[in-house]
Chain A
Amino acid sequence: MRIRIRHETTYRYAEPPRTAVQHLRLTPRSHDGQHVVDWRIDVDRDCRLVQSEDAFGNTLHRFSVDGPLESISTVVEGEVTTFDMAGVVLGAVERFPPVLFMRDTPLTTPNVAICDFARETTSKESGTLSKLHALLGAIHESLTFDAAATHSGTTAAECFEHRKGVCQDFSHLFIACARAISAPARYVSGYFLGSDGEDQVAGHAWAEAYVEDLGWVAFDPTHGVAPQENHVRVAIALDYLGAAPIRGAHSGGGGETLEVKVRVAPAAAFSQSQSQSQ
């Protein structure tokens, strides 16, 4: 499927900062399940955008700008062709052996409740893949999507306690559970093509877990499915922090507000929906 994406992020400051630095993980790479047809990245400030690769092989852009800055806006736009691989991730950049993705991070450390939940959910299943599918279903069932319940620093344990969260929290919980049953797991940030074609207020996130003899397999606990053609994979890491689309810091100033507009649509329908909205 050909998917077109436009993702605009705007930071506004009530008191303009003197300088700002940002790290962007907003550029997808091609692998067997997706081909990046075209992609461009644009920052509305005069700056040098330095491209590099981070620890996990994600494309990273960095820049620093001098103020006073009333706002910084970043737009990425491009087209990706996706293929149904039944969730199996092949041909992607792998910088580490799977065991690295057994590391706990503050956002994904399982507590006793999560360990119990993971064990109980998977006790009747044999084989890693069916255990992971059991977790996928159980997490999708037991959590309620609620954008107001959590924030970017919410841990898997906190999310599990309230049984509420957004895609980031669903993914962290899945990762914590997978690692608790000794399956290496990692966080994926990317885009999801929904059926409604509406503008989205954020990118999407899901997880990948390692299955012996099969490799990395994607699981989307928010939707309760294994990603097929509707997911565009941008960055992977141990948790949200490592894969976050934008991480920034500024000196001086304050009163930061953030506005995100994401449009994901079939390439054929994209320009049409865009022209309609204008």
Chain B
Amino acid sequence: MDSRITQFDELAGADGRTRAPYRKLSQWLAETPPELLASRREQAELLFRRIGITFAVYGAQDATERLIPFDILPRILSRSEWTTLEKGLIQRVTALNAFLADIYGAGEILRAGIVPADLVYRNPAYCPDMAGRRVPFDIYVHIAGVDIVRTDDQGFFVLEDNARTPSGVSYMLENREVMMRLFPELFALHRVAPIENYPDELLGTLRSVAPQRANGDPTVVLMTPGQYNSAFYEHSFLADKLGVELVEGRDLFVRDDVVYMRTTEGPRRVDVIYRRIDDDFLDPLCFRPDSALGVAGLMGAYQAGNVTLANAVGAGAADDKAMYTYMPDIIKFYLGEAPLLQNVPTFRCREQEALAYVLDHLDELVVKEVNGSGGYGMLVGPHATRAQIEEFRAKLKAHPQNFIAQPTLALSTCPIAMGSGVAPRHVDLRPFVLQGANGARVVPGGLTRVAMTEKSLVVNSSQGGGTKDTWVIDDAWSAEEAMGQA
């Protein structure tokens, strides 16, 4: 028997009965001839090619730039599901921020023995240069991409907190734009919450954390490592949407602890840098001396309070996969609240008992490198070959502290449109949480990533995953009904 029958589908639930948010879509699907779906899929492909939305895959031998697969069927969340999720996300990011302010400040959570000190101080993403410094408005995590999964309709699990430079928001925006052009009739049937205001919200967030002396009219720039970065398309896309300059390190310079941008009209003072470049490359005087991507003296200007970096330097110390396991305690410690979003049960391989269990159950577990990201350096036990498992066994024994392991979750599925009709595929969701001096907010939606291969649990675009548009719709289910009530 196929095990997926018992598992939760976003459209069909666990019992095969169409869930309320999907009723209209399901009906529409039943009435729509397969040829129409096929032609819309082709149009979508054409549109994405024309937009030129690509990403680079590190370690792939063939083309360096790829089109990310897009599926035309939306993933739908009801307003009430979203409200729960939104509260949980804001709670989580607030706690992440409080944790960072603490470990770079008083270190109370370490003294209280809630998080082991060595896990913080030995974390490669912990930045000693940030210790004892305040960042503007005490905000470290301005933009977070929190990866969410579910296994039933009861609640949500956080799979990963991305507090460094989360990517993918351009796909969220582009997917919506393409969907609105392809399926105006579906948007007429549903009241879909808008996400087009994300760039405005992001700009508002960035402006809100500018140094005081910017006097309410800060100059914001987006800093990219350059066109060879896998997310360069997104960097240029966002800079365009934000209406700010897209700069590389060589476009900026620091004079007496102030950052300037070279422009045709002479140097212009920069107040906020939305940087999409890793800590290590920011400033060759503080970090990697061979970095040609950064700006010499940037950290000096940052520490002098003359420029704001988003996200803050050293924010990665909170999104480490080993730190993840302490998140429920971190939320309780700073907020005195129970976590609204659950953590996936996680084995910390640094602990002897956990390691023994993990080594005995490698074929059932997902093993992740503590500092890996994007699905690199990961073992999915049930789908791994003998050789892969043995390779990980050796790695685990050599450096147990570098790994965590989680049970393979029965991730929810969502239907995708295929040549032969419609088929369920595993999905996750990355909503983007913004946190500024003006509060925290999440645009209603996010990036739904979908494993395009049957039964695959890996949704990362670097591993062949695709995306879907994500809809948050009013609980009245349809525009008609909502109007009927009015």
B122:A99 contact, CB within 8 angstroms: yes
Per CB-CB distance, the 9 closest pairs between chain A and chain B, nearest first, are A249-B296, A100-B121, A55-B128, A21-B297, A55-B129, A99-B118, A21-B296, A247-B285, A99-B121
CB-CB contacts of A147-164 with B at 8 A, as 1s and 0s?
A: 000000100000000000
Within 8 A of A (CB), among B100-138: 117-118, 121-122, 124, 128-132
Task: Tell whether B17 is near chain A: CB-to-CB under 8 Å.
Answer: no
Binds B, one of A46-54, A165-173, A209-217, A224-232: A46-54
Within 8 A of B (CB), among A87-145: 95-97, 99-100, 102-103
Task: Tell whether B440 is near chain A: CB-to-CB under 8 Å.
Answer: no
Interface residues on B, range: 20 to 34
Minimum C-beta distance from B211 to chain A (A): 17
| C-alpha gap A56/B121 in the complex (Å) | 13
Q: Which residues on the A side are within 8 Å of B285 (C-beta)?
A: 21, 23, 247-249
Residues in chain A within 8 A of chain B (CB atoms): 19, 21, 23, 48, 50, 52, 54-56, 62, 64, 66, 95-97, 99-100, 102-103, 153, 238, 241, 247-249, 251
A99:B117 contact, CB within 8 angstroms: yes
Which of A48, A102, A241 interacts with B122 by CB under 8 Å?
A102
Chain B residue with minimal CB distance to A52?
B303
Chain A residue with minimal CB distance to B287?
A241
Q: Which residues on the B side are within 8 Å of A23 (C-beta)?
A: 285-286, 300
Q: Is the interface of B mostly helix, strand, loop or mixed?
A: loop
Q: Which residues on the B side are within 8 Å of A96 (C-beta)?
A: 121, 128, 131
Minimum C-beta distance from A110 to chain B (A): 12
Q: Which residues on the A side are within 8 Å of B132 (C-beta)?
A: 55, 95
New contact pairs (15) apart from A55-B132, A96-B131, CB-CB < 8 Å:
A19-B253, A19-B255, A48-B256, A50-B300, A54-B129, A55-B131, A62-B257, A64-B297, A95-B131, A96-B128, A99-B118, A102-B118, A103-B122, A247-B285, A247-B289
| C-alpha gap A95/B121 in the complex (Å) | 12
Within 8 A of A (CB), among B265-299: 284-286, 289-290, 296-297
Task: Tell whether B254 is near chain A: CB-to-CB under 8 Å.
Answer: yes
Chain B residue with minimal CB distance to A106?
B288
11 sample A-B contacts, Cβ–Cβ < 8 Å, listed by A number: A21-B285, A52-B303, A55-B130, A64-B256, A96-B121, A96-B131, A99-B117, A99-B118, A99-B121, A102-B122, A249-B296
Which of B124, B130, B284 interacts with A249 by CB under 8 Å?
B284
Q: Which residues on the B side are within 8 Å of A99 (C-beta)?
A: 117-118, 121-122
| C-alpha gap A200/B416 in the complex (Å) | 72
A62:B300 contact, CB within 8 angstroms: yes
Given A99-B117, A249-B285, CB of A64 within 8 Å of CB of B254: yes
Given A55-B129, A64-B255, CB of A103 within 8 Å of CB of B124: yes
B289:A21 contact, CB within 8 angstroms: no
Q: Which residues on the A side are within 8 Å of B289 (C-beta)?
A: 153, 241, 247
